[in-house]
Amino acid sequence: MPFLTYPAALELQKELSGTNAEVITLADDDYVESLDRWSATSEKEAVCVSPPHQSIHSLLSPMQEHRLTYADTTMLIKGAIVKVTTVEEVSTVVEFAAKRYIPFAVLSGGHSTKGASSTYGGIVIDLGRMNRVDVRTSSKTVSVEGGAKWADVDTAAAKHGLAVVGPTVSQLGVGGTTLGGGIGWLTGKYGLVVDNLVEAQIVLADGSITTASESESPDLFWAIRGAGQDFGVITRFTFKAHPQENDVFAGMLYLDPDKLPQLVDYVNNLDSKLDEDEGLFFGFINSHGKTTIVVILFYNGPQAQAEKMFEPLLSLSTDREKTGMMPYYKTNQLFNKAAASEGRKRLSGTSVTLPLDIDFFQAVYQNFSQILNDHSEDAEALLFFEMLPYTKVVEVPNDATAYANRGPYYNVCSIFNWQDPKADSKIRNLQQGLMTQIRDEHIKRRGPGVGTYANYTGFDANARDLFGDNLPRLKELKKHFDPRNVFRKWHDLLLQTGASV
Ligand SMILES: Cc1cc2nc3c(=O)[nH]c(=O)nc-3n(C[C@H](O)[C@H](O)[C@H](O)COP(=O)(O)OP(=O)(O)OC[C@H]3O[C@@H](n4cnc5c(N)ncnc54)[C@H](O)[C@@H]3O)c2cc1C
């Protein structure tokens, strides 16, 4: 696989001259910060080395030289980050890379923990400067550039008394979240993020620019709603917006471990009554070896009603004053700070069908606590069972979009956070063991839907696990739109067996 040589980087720079795109290589001061990702496991140098033509010492600052520890610095720099500002610039870079077989990655919010938005020695197409959001009140739609964060969307829509279905953490990129499906507090009422996508502007594998919607290129539109990362660079999304004039009830409660049976009773009972305006995450957080039960409440309605509904939980906690009314967009900021911790991270997901068996839930709690107690020096973690009503999601058949995870169950998500790169495989195994324990329970009662949310899985699932019966159609479309598989860094659709790369 050829990489981007330094002369080729200069050539790319030339092709982009007269535009606002910025090509950054190891020789540039902002190179190091351009590699930053949410998880240090995903920070890959967009450089590599080749046979010597000249010494690169003259090009490097001391900091850059220090970073090039893994290679012989007499060799020539390759690789680049391109900060793009328009769809035409994206098109130029994709065409340039594809023609020369240079691997590239697309970066939006940078939250992939498997490094899907980073590359060694290739090109990173950094969409961060393409973050414009236009709210169209007349059509109740919001048009969003491919590198925007959800915070940009939430706040822009709120100014007009509107909201767009988005994730519960607003620092995420719109690009990655949307293309894999997208779930959040408004999912109960309006479905997935992709169910609210009206149109997308896309740069395809050959650099051509196209639009996909129900009426224009409907096959492509089908594919990008669940597997979009594999089909192109989406440079603009148009979403439905919904009225959101009222504040919502939200907040986080901590419960002592002895309240676990009451919590299980409550959620089992809630399962049959959950209405579309509600949402509840519950699970465990472990920090410095101490495990706490956590419950996150959401209700899109009046405080009195919310408190009546959540009273059995509120009365179990000593910090009910941490819940209250707030503008919708603020609920998606509640965890931004916690989610911004430093170091290496790994996201993993599975599903759970309710009612929960108390012994099973106790066993998961014990397992989680044990793992974290044994490794309190290395790791912190959270594990959430995400009760977002699925009625709206399952109204859409599994074959109506590429997203195949529609079923009468809830997502489960865990995030592990550690510092030492040497602990990578140990943490991976521990986290996978925990998630397998939950998945095995889900499989016993499995109904429709694959039971695996692609945006929550790293290397743990292959394309068959993620797309089920939709995979053959996806593969056919992939061969049509991206025959050389240039978009393969997320979950590789054409990989025959084993986990994705
Ligand atoms: C703390 C945390 C909380 C989360 N909470 C939620 C949640 O509430 N709901 C939910 O649904 N998910 C949630 N997720 C999962 C999240 O949806 C995925 O991590 C998603 O991939 C993040 O997208 P990103 O743009 O930030 O990441 P990136 O790493 O930038 O991108 C992820 C993938 O998408 C590709 N990509 C990004 N933008 C584009 C684009 N415009 N065109 C083509 N490809 C693109 C990248 O190349 C990469 O393959 C959460 C993740 C984390 C880490």
The overall average pLDDT reported for the chain is 89
499 found inside a domain: no
pLDDT at 13 over 70: yes
pLDDT at 284 over 70: yes
Identify whether residues 286 and 228 lie together within a single domain.
Answer: no
Q: What is the pLDDT of residue 448?
A: 86
Identify whether residues 231 and 252 lie together within a single domain.
Answer: no
Domain final position from 190, 209, 244? 244
pLDDT tens-place string over residues 258-282? 999 999 999 999 988 889 999 999 9
Q: What is the pLDDT of residue 51?
A: 37
Among residues 172, 232, 169, which one has the least CA distance to residue 205?
A: 232
Take atom 52 of ligand 1 and give the residue whose Cα is closest: 111
Q: Label residue 298 by pLDDT band (50, 70, 90).
A: very high
Q: What is the DSSP string of 315-345?
A: TT-S-GGG-EEE-HHHHTTTTHHHHT--SEE
Among residues 442, 417, 412, which one has the least CA distance to residue 427?
A: 417
500 found inside a domain: no
Q: What is the pLDDT of residue 249?
A: 98
pLDDT at 501 over 70: no
| Alpha-helical regions (H) of 80-120 | 87-99
Identify whether residues 62 and 180 lie together within a single domain.
Answer: no
Lowest-confidence pick of 115-119, 139-143, 365-369:
115-119
Q: What is the pLDDT of residue 78?
A: 64
Identify whether residues 306 and 432 lie together within a single domain.
Answer: yes
Count CB atoms within 10 A of the CB of residue 19. 13
Q: What is the pLDDT of residue 38?
A: 79
Domain count, the chain: 3
pLDDT tens-place string over residues 405-418? 999 999 999 999 99
Mean pLDDT of 149-162: 98
Identify whether residues 304 and 449 lie together within a single domain.
Answer: yes
Q: Label residue 118 by pLDDT band (50, 70, 90).
A: confident
Take atom 3 of ligand 1 and give the residue whose Cα is closest: 169
Domain that holds residue 108: 6-126
Identify whether residues 368 and 310 lie together within a single domain.
Answer: yes
* Closest ligand 1 atom to 174 CA: 25
Any atom of ligand 1 within 6 Å of the Cβ of 229:
yes
pLDDT tens-place string over residues 51-108? 333 444 444 555 555 555 444 333 455 688 999 999 999 999 999 999 999 999 999 9
Q: Cβ distance 75 to 52 under 8 Å?
A: yes
Ligand 1 pocket test: pick from 108, 280, 334 the residue with the most ligand atoms within 8 Å of its Cβ.
108
Any atom of ligand 1 within 6 Å of the Cβ of 112:
yes
Report the separation in Å between the CA atom of 128 and the middle of ligand 1, taken as the mean of its atom positions. Answer: 13
Identify whether residues 10 and 97 lie together within a single domain.
Answer: yes
pLDDT at 390 over 70: yes
Domain final position from 126, 161, 181? 126
CA distance 156 to 162: 9
42 found inside a domain: yes
Ligand 1 pocket test: pick from 42, 126, 172 the residue with the most ligand atoms within 8 Å of its Cβ.
172
pLDDT at 497 over 60: no
497 found inside a domain: no
Report the separation in Å between the CA atom of 173 and the middle of ligand 1, taken as the mean of its atom positions. Answer: 6
Phi, psi of 267 (to 5 degrees): -70, -35
pLDDT at 481 over 50: yes
308 found inside a domain: yes
pLDDT tens-place string over residues 313-338? 999 998 888 899 999 999 999 887 77
Take atom 1 of ligand 1 and give the residue whose Cα is closest: 339
Phi, psi of 143 (to 5 degrees): -105, 130
Lowest-confidence pick of 61-65, 191-195, 448-452:
61-65
* Closest ligand 1 atom to 237 CA: 41
CA distance 142 to 30: 32
CA distance 326 to 308: 18
CA distance 144 to 150: 10
Q: What is the pLDDT of residue 496?
A: 54
* Closest ligand 1 atom to 490 CA: 49
Q: What is the pLDDT of residue 378?
A: 77
Q: Label residue 341 by pLDDT band (50, 70, 90).
A: confident
Q: What is the pLDDT of residue 45?
A: 52
Mean pLDDT of 342-360: 92
Q: Cβ distance 203 to 209 under 8 Å?
A: yes
Ligand 1 pocket test: pick from 39, 91, 106 the residue with the most ligand atoms within 8 Å of its Cβ.
106
Q: Which CATH number do you get for residue 236?
A: 3.30.465.10
SS3 assignment, position 430: helix
pLDDT at 285 over 90: yes
Q: What is the pLDDT of residue 31?
A: 78
Lowest-confidence pick of 7-21, 155-169, 197-211, 228-242:
7-21
Take atom 13 of ligand 1 and give the residue whose Cα is closest: 167
pLDDT tens-place string over residues 396-444? 999 999 999 999 999 999 999 998 888 888 888 999 999 999 999 888 8
Identify whether residues 422 and 370 lie together within a single domain.
Answer: yes
Mean pLDDT of 362-366: 96
Any atom of ligand 1 within 6 Å of the Cβ of 191:
no
HSE, CB side, 13 Å, CA atoms: give it for residue 408.
8
Take atom 17 of ligand 1 and give the residue whose Cα is closest: 177
Q: How far is CA 194 from CA 2, 7, 265, 282, in A?
A: 35, 41, 33, 25
331 found inside a domain: no
Among residues 370, 361, 499, 375, which one has the least CA distance to residue 438?
A: 361
What are the b/e assignments for 170-203, b being 16+ CB within 10 Å? bbbbbbbbbbbbbbbbbbbbbbbbbbbbebbbbb
Any atom of ligand 1 within 6 Å of the Cβ of 184:
yes
Identify whether residues 293 and 438 lie together within a single domain.
Answer: yes
332 found inside a domain: no
Mean pLDDT of 97-126: 90
495 found inside a domain: no
Q: Which CATH number do you get for residue 412?
A: 3.40.462.20
Identify whether residues 428 and 282 lie together within a single domain.
Answer: yes
Ligand 1 pocket test: pick from 229, 412, 457, 459 the residue with the most ligand atoms within 8 Å of its Cβ.
229
Identify whether residues 304 and 221 lie together within a single domain.
Answer: no
Q: Label residue 202 by pLDDT band (50, 70, 90).
A: very high
Any atom of ligand 1 within 6 Å of the Cβ of 115:
no
Q: Which CATH number do you get for residue 115?
A: 3.30.43.10
Any atom of ligand 1 within 6 Å of the Cβ of 279:
no
Q: What is the pLDDT of residue 485?
A: 94
Identify whether residues 31 and 106 lie together within a single domain.
Answer: yes
Q: Label residue 121 by pLDDT band (50, 70, 90).
A: confident
Domain final position from 223, 244, 265? 244
